[in-house]
Structure 1
Amino acid sequence: MTSVAEPDYWSLLGLPPDSDAKQLKRAFRREARRWHPDLNGNDPVAEERFKLVNEAYAVLSDPRRRQAWETGAVPGGASDDPFASGFPDFEDYLDVVLGRASTSVEPEPVATPRPEGAPSARTEPPVTSPPSPPPVRASEDLESLVELTPEQALYGTTVELTLDGGMVVELDTPPLAGDGWRLRLEGVAAGGCDHFLQLRVVTPEGLRIDGLRVHYRLELFPPDAALGCAVDVPTLDGPVTLQVPPGSSSGRLLRLRDRGLEMDDRRGDQLVEIVIVIPADLGDAERALYRRLQELALEADGL
C-alpha cells in the first residue's frame, strides 16, 4: 500500500484544525521559541523547523492563504525565504510577526518648591535593595521513568511507585497521554520536594505516541532526500510505503492520515519527520561526489 504524504501545518504547530486565532498565536509563540536558532546553538535542524513554523503561521493566520492551502488550490508556503539573510532576535521577531508594540515610559522628575534664596537640594540616586537570594531547598526533586503501552497511554492506567523510604504511591495516568509527559507528585520526596514521573510511550519499531497522534523519525541519506524516494515505514497497523517528495530537508513533517490511535469516533494521524543522516564510513568515491557537489554549490553562489 502506498500513502501520499503532504505537509500538515496544523500538526506542525500541535493544534487541531478548529483552533481559533488566539490558540494559533499561542502555539506559534511556543513553537517559535522552541525552534529559534538563537536558542538552539544554530542547529541546522532547528533552523529548518523554525522556517516551517513561520510558514505554517503565515498560512494559517491569513484566511485567503489558509483557504487556498486547505483546498489544495495553490502551495501554502511562501515563494521567497524570509530568512535568507539570517534570523532576527527572537523577541524582535515576535514583536514584528505578532504585531506587539514595545514602549517604555520614563518617570518624570517632580519639582519640589523651595523658598526664594534657599540653596538647591542635592539630587541623590535612588537606593535599591539587592535582590533576595533564591530559597534553599533541602534536597532536589526526583524523577522516575514509567513505560506505558500505546493502549495504556490512550485510556489511562494505574501506576504503582515505591519511593525512597518504602512509601508506595498509586497514580492514575490521564487518558490520551503521550511520550515525554511529566506527572508531578507534589511534596512526596525527601525534604518536601516533588517526585516527577516521566512517561515513555514508544513501540519497538520506534513509534512515539502522543494522544491520538503517532510520531516517527525517518532517517534518510542525502541522495534519497534530495531526489525523493519510496520507503517502507512502520505504523500501528503494519508497514506502509511512503512516497518522500524530492527536496525534503531535515525537520520536514509528512502526514499519514488516520494511522494514529482511535478513540470513540476520532482517529489521529501519523507524522513522519525527515532526518537526514550522513554515513560515518564514506568511501573514496562517495567523498569525491560530495566534494564535487560542494564545488557546484560554490559555483552557483558565485564564489
Structure 2
Amino acid sequence: MKRDYYEVLGVPKTASEQEIKKAYRKLARENHPDVNPGDKAAEERFKEATEAYDVLSDAEKRARYDQFGHEDPNAGGFGGFGGGGDFGFGDIFDMFFGGSSGGQRRNGPSRGADLRYDLTISFEEAVFGAEKEIQIPRHETCSECHGSGAAPGTQPTQCSECHGTGQIKVSQRTPFGVIQTARTCPTCHGEGRTISSPCKVCNGQGAVRTVKTIKVDIPEGSEEGLNLRYTGSGEAGQKGGPAGDLYVVLHVKAHKFFEREGNDVYCEIPITFVQAALGAEIDVPTLDGNVKMKVPEGTQTSTVFRLRGHGIPYRRGNGRGDQHVRVIVATPTKLTDKQKELLNEFGDSATEQQQMGKKSFFDKVKENIRDAIG
C-alpha cells in the first residue's frame, strides 16, 4: 500500500510550493543513487520521494490527489519519473554537484596562496623597532616561461577534448531520465589547455621553488601577535594571476626585569630599611638607561612610583607610556651584636605607629569601639 505523498515528503497538507520543493531537495540529496551506490533501500526512498514530488509540485495533479488520493479515476494512478514539475536540469546539477550546469571554465588566472612566518624578537626590538632579514621558501613565477609553462617560443594550445572549458559532459541515466553532468577533463586535468613542449626550467608548472630573502621592518612599540603584511610576497599566482601576501607574525620574548601592560612597563626595585625610613635618591633601570628616583622618608614596602615617559613608544602617534616602579623594603639579615643592640634601642624609644608607619591594628580597634559607643 502506497504511503501518503505528504507523509513521504514530511510536509503538512497546507505546505506551500516552496516548502514542498525544499523537502524534496533534502530527501533527494540524502537518497540519490549516485550518493548511495548499491543501496536499494535508498534508491526506493528516492523513487518514492520523486513520485510524491511529481504529483505535489503540479497544481492540477495535487488538486486531484487531495480529492481522490491514490485512486484518481481520471489519471490511471499517479507516479512516474518523467515529469519532475519545474525541477529542471540546473536544479538537479546544483543539488548533486554543487555547481553550475554551464560548464564554465576554471582555468583562468588565479591568485597565489598567502604565507605566514612566525618571527621571534627581543623585548627591546619590540620597544624601539628593528630591521630583520628572514628566509621564505615559496614558489615564484618561472622567469624562463613567464608562468606559461611552455618552452620559450611555444604556447599552450586549447585542449581538443574539452575545447578549452576544462570540463567534459557525461550522460547519466537516472530516475529523472538521461541528464548530463560536468566532469574534469582527463586530458588537460581541468586546465583547458595542453602543453606540447614544457618549459625545462619549471617542467611545465609555470613556477619554481625558491628561497626569498625579505627585510622585515619592525615598528617601534610592536606588541605580541602583531601581523605585518607584505603584499605580493606570498606564493606565485597561476596563469598570470597576482602573487599572494606574506604575513609576518611577531612573538616577543619576555624581559628579565620589565613587564609590559599596554604601553606601560612595570618593575620592582629593592631598597634598604634605612633608605625607606630616612629617604634616599636611588638609581632605577629604565628602557633608556639608569635614572635617578627620589624615595621619600617613611616609604612603605610595595609603594609604587611613576616615571612618566619611560614606557613603550606609541605605535600610532607620538609619545610614550610610563614606567611604574614598585619598591620592596628589604629586611636586614646577619646583624652583628652592635647592630641588634641599636635596633633594640630604637624599638624601645619609638612608638608603634612610628615603627609601623601607620596606625597599629590595636589603635584601629580602639577607634572602632569608640565610634560604636558613640
TM over 0.5: no
User: Larger relative contact order (C-alpha < 8 A, sep ≥ 6)?
Assistant: 1
Normalized per residue, which structure has more strand?
Answer: 2
TM-score range (shorter-chain normalised) is: 0.3 to 0.5
